[in-house]
Structure 1
């Protein structure tokens, strides 16, 4: 469990719910679709969408998913449906689609590159599936990225879980997400589970991939915003700050608008 957040949970929940509702009504859509992974971010996002009273479709999209991920996702969906009559669910087993795609494209001798590419392919298949459900039902795809992931270390797949219509929790630190989850009664099994993106068969955690915990990355992001640098720290703090700074640089392309080659006016 991350450090304790100082966010005003009740006020923040009401604010996000009102924001979601106003955006959807202005867009003249019926509600939201959310991919449910069994993790804290998708649980909070779907709970916020459900509280709008608008149609909220929770979609499971397993691809060789560990059983405990599936169990947590189903527990959360069942709880939401019991509390909110506007919540519905769907399940699209994408494992056969994923395996079929693998047979249609070339493999690689670069095992590391292949491993990461296939992980990102899972995320992009899920994005495509969410937009399919969104198109059929007149819904918006609600993103599940938090502030550290989306704007700190870029821990998402471009055009995968980064491909969304709106991002209700992207201004919340991970500790804030946990605070909202506890306030809204997200199942304990999700609250205590180690965060993971679920893109790897070996069930590695986010911390395994990033090399630092969300507490450390949140701290580093706040220190970076103050203008601090790695040399201002020693020991594990310096190491964590360097991890944050390296990931922030490497993934900056995910956080900025797509570059456009602007043609000089005298060429036109």
Structure 2
């Protein structure tokens, strides 16, 4: 990949989209992970006002520290970057306490994890609304179009997706070129939605490198190793199960004769 030219292309695309939208800048949630770090720096490079939001909900100390360090680094480099910390833990707990309990604890925890992402989306759009900003998404190509590893109307609820055509490995290439702080580059990817140490790989059952391979695979499965067949099966299962996230919202089109 031609890294610098790719960076320039994305930044120019963002500048053009912002101008056409009639909005004034970007707002982005900072998680302490590689995707939000890269995307926020691309926002900053656009020259437009860029608001970085920290929105912890029972977040691990490591994630919080990485997010703070990244924002401080950005603000030392760019005058157009500002930040706000909105601790959503109490809000989430109030929401949780008012929900009816269900017997399936795993299903309940998954739904609550997705609720965290949707609470953050609501917060992002509040700040987007009061400042006339666009919400910048942080999803990469593997997550958004491969395995659907995001929350519908959570971190999937955005106005534009600057890195959604980049594989995770390409995001890391850009991160290195942009001098994203080292502990973010080395941190195990995690969505941080469960309040524990589980990584994306723990949840998905495969690494991003493996999933990238599966996403590109067009060969004969008979020639694969046992692990490769397992990864391909994981990819196909997740891709099929999450098509409802990746496809446009279905519209029930009423026949003309019924109108």
Match runs of 1:89-168 below 5 Å: 89-168=83-162
Moved more, 99-108 or 45-54: 99-108
Equivalent residue of 1:257, what SS? coil
Check if 1:264 corresponds to 2:258: no
Q: In 2, are the aligned partners of 1:126 and 1:160 still within 8 Å (CA)?
A: yes
* Cα separation, 2, equivalents of 1:89 and 1:211: 35
Q: In 2, are the aligned partners of 1:220 and 1:244 still within 8 Å (CA)?
A: yes
Match runs of 1:1-268 below 5 Å: 7-223=1-217, 226=218, 228=219, 230-268=221-259
Q: In 2, are the aligned partners of 1:146 and 1:174 still within 8 Å (CA)?
A: yes
CA offsets 1:194-219 (integer angstroms, 9 cap, x no match): 00001011120000000000000000
Q: In 2, are the aligned partners of 1:230 and 1:242 still within 8 Å (CA)?
A: no
Q: In 2, are the aligned partners of 1:232 and 1:238 still within 8 Å (CA)?
A: no
User: Relative to 1, partners in 2 of residues 1:155 and 1:231: Cα closer, same or farther, differing over 3 Å?
Assistant: farther
CA offsets 1:38-83 (integer angstroms, 9 cap, x no match): 0000000000000001000000000000001000000000000000
1:235 CA drift (Å): 1.2
1:234 CA drift (Å): 2.8
Aligned CA RMSD, in angstroms, stands at: 0.9
CA offsets 1:176-206 (integer angstroms, 9 cap, x no match): 0000001011000100000000101112000
Q: What TM-score does the superposition give when structure 2 sets the normalisation length?
A: 0.98
